[in-house]
Chain A
Amino acid sequence: MSIPFERYWQALLDTISMVAVSGGVAFAAGVPLAVLLIVTAPGGFLESPRLNRAVGSVVNGFRATPFIVLLVALIPLTRLVAGTTIGVWAAIVPLSISATPFFARIVEVSLREVDPGLVEAAQAMGCRKWDIVRHVLLPEALPGIIGGFTITLVALIGSSAMAGAVGAGGLGDLAIRYGYQRFDTEVMVFVIAILIALVSIVQFSGDRYVRWLKNR
């Protein structure tokens, strides 16, 4: 083996922590953002076209910016939040900020697809607006939300490879430095194998969970 096993292990841990923390942030911020987009949309129960457009534009703006550009453009914010501009923690800030709007849009679609008849039934039984969000929209959209979260995690594994550009480490960084820059094919192949395994595990678990939710 051209590099010690510990290097792979460390890179895997770095990738997992980047993806886990930014995924967590994306989930915690993306769901409320999606709810905000839904309730302020035309016909929603806190209808506010101006707020809806404003939030929508910000979301679109972040989604339109390529991640590698975001990574550099957000350096001042990263320094403010993480206290550093290199390392795993520095990568988590731009990763979270790019994943949140992406995930929010997926959640928004899932929420919009909840049968309007269920909302009507909830109104008829005397549910208030937030009761409907909490007891109807979110639980009924859960399979879609989990499916969307799986996609987001897989996308984050991809983006985290680029985070090597800010010295964050991780599997992608290992592949670029050894496999690409030093023409070490063995490292490249091995890293790709680990990434494939990682993506498969995430996708498989997500699918299993969604299937369980739908089949109960």
Chain B
Amino acid sequence: MNYSPALRAAGHAAQLPTSGQAQAGGREAAVRAEQAGAAVGNAVVFEGIGKTYPSFSGAVQALSDISLEIPAGSIFGIIGRSGAGKSSLLRTINRLERPTVGKVIVEGVDIDTLDARGLVRLRRRIGMIFQHFNLLSAKTVWENVALPLKVAGVPAAEVKRRVAELLALVGLQDKRSVYPARLSGGQKQRVGIARALVHRPQILLCDEATSALDPETTQSILQLLRDINRRLGITVILITHEMSVIREIADRVLVLEQGRIAELGEVWRVFGSPRHEATRALLAPLQHGLPDDLQHRLRARPPEPADGHWRIVQFSYNGEHRLEPDFARIARALQAEVRLVHGGVDRIQGHVHGRLLLAVPGGAALPDLAALAQGPRALAHRIEVIGYVDSL
């Protein structure tokens, strides 16, 4: 597949999605990518991957029994706490790490069957970017981006053309003769991305690509990655320890815990109803927990007398059936004064999930909350009284 028209279109536009021409080219590329994706099927397939490292205190099991498929053209996130095996798994795709057992199949080829030359060719079809950018400090931006082509023996004129295209794609045309030490973190990562894409790979591996960047720069890099995925149809596989990154751009997510698959699925599903303790721990920073002052005053039983206190009712949303909070219906169903105390929802891939904490006066009679969370007219996926407070 050749996606140079999209790149050339991008070359005329200084920034990414600015001109209509670039966007039209982008849509074309995306459609072609979808077709190609359907034909290729899976970009990467892991079959029973296991990895053991020798160490002083016996063998360490870094990965065990990982089997999964990554569809071509998708953005696949791998998340886990540090030491969960994310890096090892990612590096088996371009053979920077060799699994102890199991097969890695990239674009239909079992990469264990490749010789040294085959491996070099494979790596040229897989771009990779890194947390600390790993740019060569002794080379300029232009030389950094050109190096993969130069070592592959690409003719000088072609190198010149492609490096210019890529620098335009990442918006760094004016920095071509600057050394990396003079660039900001975000600019360095853009150079890293240009370098990773200069061989026109089908797969881009991102190793904690935004972990060293500030939130604003993180957003712009994620935006660029999403754009690359949509316009060029490149499969993006990224590892991170930040759930927000996954929420932002991934289609599917793998949660790794101690080298094993803890959870695997579409992002909104995994986020909406996390089943594994590791997933919940990783999600914790994103969730709207009870504010401290409320948490301290929250009682398990209603105080006496029944009047004058408030019940705290929690409405949870997990994204299923595209259910969204409907305040008018909630107020009607509870038939009481209802106050929103705390909470919030996120929208992931069009699915709303999150939780709302509502306060209802203790004197009012409540309907059957479980019934309100059932059926096609449900108000939320789960409704429960989580405690009582004397006052708000």
The chain A residues found within 8 Å of chain B, CB to CB, are 115, 117-118, 120-128, 131, 135-136, 139-140, 142, 213, 215-216
A120's contact among B116, B126, B134, by CB below 8 Å, is which?
B134
Chain A CB within 8 A of B160 CB: no
Chain A CB within 8 A of B366 CB: no
Q: How far is the CA of A117 from the CA of B195 in the complex (A)?
A: 15
Of residues B130, B150, B151, B199, which shows the largest number of chain A Cβ atoms within 10 Å of its Cβ?
Answer: B151
Known: A117-B130, A135-B136. A126 touches B96 (CB 8 A): no
Chain A CB within 8 A of B94 CB: yes
Chain A CB within 8 A of B59 CB: no
Q: How far is the CA of A136 from the CA of B152 in the complex (A)?
A: 15
Chain B min CB distance to A14 (Å)? 36
Chain A CB within 8 A of B51 CB: no
Chain A CB within 8 A of B250 CB: no
Q: Mark B42-78, 1 if CB is under 8 A from A, else 0.
A: 0000000000000000000000000000000000000
Point out the residues of chain B lying under 8 angstroms from A117, CB to CB. 130, 132, 134
Interface size class of B (residues with CB under 8 A): 20 to 34
Q: How far is the CA of A124 from the CA of B123 in the complex (A)?
A: 6
Chain A CB within 8 A of B231 CB: no
Q: Which of B167-222 contact A (CB under 8 A)?
A: 179, 181, 195-196, 199, 205
Point out the residues of chain A lying under 8 angstroms from B181, CB to CB. 215-216
27 CB < 8 A contacts A-B = A118-B134, A120-B96, A120-B134, A121-B128, A122-B147, A123-B123, A124-B94, A124-B96, A124-B128, A125-B124, A125-B127, A125-B128, A125-B151, A126-B124, A126-B151, A126-B152, A127-B120, A127-B148, A128-B116, A131-B151, A135-B136, A135-B139, A135-B147, A136-B136, A139-B138, A140-B137, A142-B138
Point out the residues of chain A lying under 8 angstroms from B121, CB to CB. 126
Of residues A115, A135, A213, which shows the largest number of chain B Cβ atoms within 10 Å of its Cβ?
Answer: A135
Known: A123-B123, A125-B123. 9 other contacts (CB 8 A): A118-B136, A124-B127, A125-B148, A125-B195, A127-B147, A135-B151, A136-B136, A139-B139, A140-B138
B126's contact among A122, A124, A142, A215, by CB below 8 Å, is which?
A124
Q: How far is the CA of A139 from the CA of B130 in the complex (A)?
A: 20
Point out the residues of chain B lying under 8 angstroms from A121, CB to CB. 128, 130, 134-135
The chain B residues found within 8 Å of chain A, CB to CB, are 94, 96, 116, 120-121, 123-124, 126-128, 130, 132, 134-139, 147-148, 150-152, 179, 181, 195-196, 199, 205
Point out the residues of chain A lying under 8 angstroms from B132, CB to CB. 117
**B134 and A126 form a contact (CB under 8 A):** no
Point out the residues of chain A lying under 8 angstroms from B150, CB to CB. 135
The interface residues of chain B, by DSSP majority, are classed as: mixed
Q: How far is the CA of A14 from the CA of B382 in the complex (A)?
A: 92
Point out the residues of chain B lying under 8 angstroms from A122, CB to CB. 147
Point out the residues of chain A lying under 8 angstroms from B147, CB to CB. 122, 125, 127, 135
Point out the residues of chain A lying under 8 angstroms from B138, CB to CB. 139-140, 142, 213
Of residues A117, A124, A216, which shows the largest number of chain B Cβ atoms within 10 Å of its Cβ?
Answer: A124
Chain B min CB distance to A211 (Å)? 13
Q: How far is the CA of A120 from the CA of B132 in the complex (A)?
A: 12
Chain B min CB distance to A16 (Å)? 30
Point out the residues of chain A lying under 8 angstroms from B151, CB to CB. 125-128, 131, 135
Q: How far is the CA of A143 from the CA of B230 in the complex (A)?
A: 42
Point out the residues of chain A lying under 8 angstroms from B195, CB to CB. 125
Point out the residues of chain A lying under 8 angstroms from B137, CB to CB. 140
Known: A126-B121, A126-B123, A142-B138. A216 touches B179 (CB 8 A): yes
Point out the residues of chain B lying under 8 angstroms from A131, CB to CB. 151
Q: How far is the CA of A139 from the CA of B139 in the complex (A)?
A: 8
Q: How far is the CA of A131 from the CA of B153 in the complex (A)?
A: 11
**B136 and A139 form a contact (CB under 8 A):** yes
Chain B min CB distance to A123 (Å)? 6
Q: How far is the CA of A118 from the CA of B121 in the complex (A)?
A: 19
Known: A124-B128, A125-B147, A126-B148. A140 touches B196 (CB 8 A): no
Q: How far is the CA of A122 from the CA of B147 in the complex (A)?
A: 9
Of residues A125, A135, A136, A216, which shows the largest number of chain B Cβ atoms within 10 Å of its Cβ?
Answer: A125
Q: How far is the CA of A124 from the CA of B90 in the complex (A)?
A: 12
Point out the residues of chain B lying under 8 angstroms from A142, CB to CB. 138
Q: How far is the CA of A131 from the CA of B136 in the complex (A)?
A: 13
Q: How far is the CA of A81 from the CA of B260 in the complex (A)?
A: 65
Chain A min CB distance to B372 (Å)? 53
**B120 and A128 form a contact (CB under 8 A):** yes
The 8 closest A-B CB pairs, nearest first, are A121-B134, A139-B138, A126-B124, A125-B148, A124-B128, A126-B123, A131-B151, A117-B134
Known: A117-B130, A139-B138. A123 touches B152 (CB 8 A): no
Chain A min CB distance to B383 (Å)? 50
Can you name the residue of chain B whose Cβ is closest to the Cβ of A119? Answer: B134
Q: How far is the CA of A214 from the CA of B199 in the complex (A)?
A: 29
Q: How far is the CA of A79 from the CA of B2 in the complex (A)?
A: 66
Q: How far is the CA of A122 from the CA of B381 in the complex (A)?
A: 50
Q: How far is the CA of A136 from the CA of B196 in the complex (A)?
A: 16
Point out the residues of chain B lying under 8 angstroms from A139, CB to CB. 136, 138-139
**A123 and B148 form a contact (CB under 8 A):** no
